[in-house]
C-alpha cells in the first residue's frame, strides 16, 4: 500500500502544510465531507475534503461520482486548463480523464481545508513556528571567536631581517 499525502490549507493565514500518512484513513470518503482531525493524527481539528489526485496524477472532480477514472466531456473547472483557445469560443467542450470524488487506495494526495482549529497551531504541530521576539532577545547570543590578526611589519623590511640581531 502506498502512502497518502495530505495537504492542509489554513484559510485564515493562507499557508499550506504537507503530511504523509502510511495508511489511508480517509478511504471511502468523498469531496466536501467533513473529517475529524483524529483521523489524520491532528486531534482537536476539523477539516473538509476539497479535492485531491490519484496515483497517475489525474485530479479528483466533485461532480464525477464514484472511485474510478472517467473520460468526461468538460467545459471548465477542475482538470481543464483555462486560458486556452478552447475557452475563447463559447460552447466548446473537451474530453479529459479525471478521477471520481471518492477516496480509494489509488488516491495519492488529498487536499484538506481547516474548518475548526485545535489547541495547538499548525505551525507548532509541523515544527515551523519561530520563537517570539522577546525570547529571541533573551536567548544567549553565540559569540564568534575570531583569530587574532597577525600584524605585518610597517616598513618594507623582510620579516627574517627584523628577527636577527647583530652580534659583535
Global pTM reads 0.70
Per DSSP bridges, beta strands 69-74 and 94-99 are: antiparallel
Taking the C-alpha atoms of residue 41 and residue 25, their distance in angstroms, rounded to an integer, is: 10
Judge contact between 2 and 21, C-beta under 8 A: no
pLDDT for 159: 58
Query: All 3 cell numbers of residue 160?
Result: 627574517
Neighbouring C-alpha atoms within 13 Å toward the C-beta of 81? 3
pLDDT tens, 96-128? 999 999 999 999 999 999 999 988 888 888 887
Using DSSP's 3-state secondary structure scheme, residue 7 falls into: strand
Closest CA to 48 of 29, 35, 66: 35
Burial class (CB in 10 A: 0-12, 13-18, 19+), 86: middle
pLDDT tens, 86-103? 556 677 788 999 999 999
Query: All 3 cell numbers of residue 156?
Result: 618594507
Does 6 score more than 90 pLDDT? Answer: yes
Amino acid at each position: 500500500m502506498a502512502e497518502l499525502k495530505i495537504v492542509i490549507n489554513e484559510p485564515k493565514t493562507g499557508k499550506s502544510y504537507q503530511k504523509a500518512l502510511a495508511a489511508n484513513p480517509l478511504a471511502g470518503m468523498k469531496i466536501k465531507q467533513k473529517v475529524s482531525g483524529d483521523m489524520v493524527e491532528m486531534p482537536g481539528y476539523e477539516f473538509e475534503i476539497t479535492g485531491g489526485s490519484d496515483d497517475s496524477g489525474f485530479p479528483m472532480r466533485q461532480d464525477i461520482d464514484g472511485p474510478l477514472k472517467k473520460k468526461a466531456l468538460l467545459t471548465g473547472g477542475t482538470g481543464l486548463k483555462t486560458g486556452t483557445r478552447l475557452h475563447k469560443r463559447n460552447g466548446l467542450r473537451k474530453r479529459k480523464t479525471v478521477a471520481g470524488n471518492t477516496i480509494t487506495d489509488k488516491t495519492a494526495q488529498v487536499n484538506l481545508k481547516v474548518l475548526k482549529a485545535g489547541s495547538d497551531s499548525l505551525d507548532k504541530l509541523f515544527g515551523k513556528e519561530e520563537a517570539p521576539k522577546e525570547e529571541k532577545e533573551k536567548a544567549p547570543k553565540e559569540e564568534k571567536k575570531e583569530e587574532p590578526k597577525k600584524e605585518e611589519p610597517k616598513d618594507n623590511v623582510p620579516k627574517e631581517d627584523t628577527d636577527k640581531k647583530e652580534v659583535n
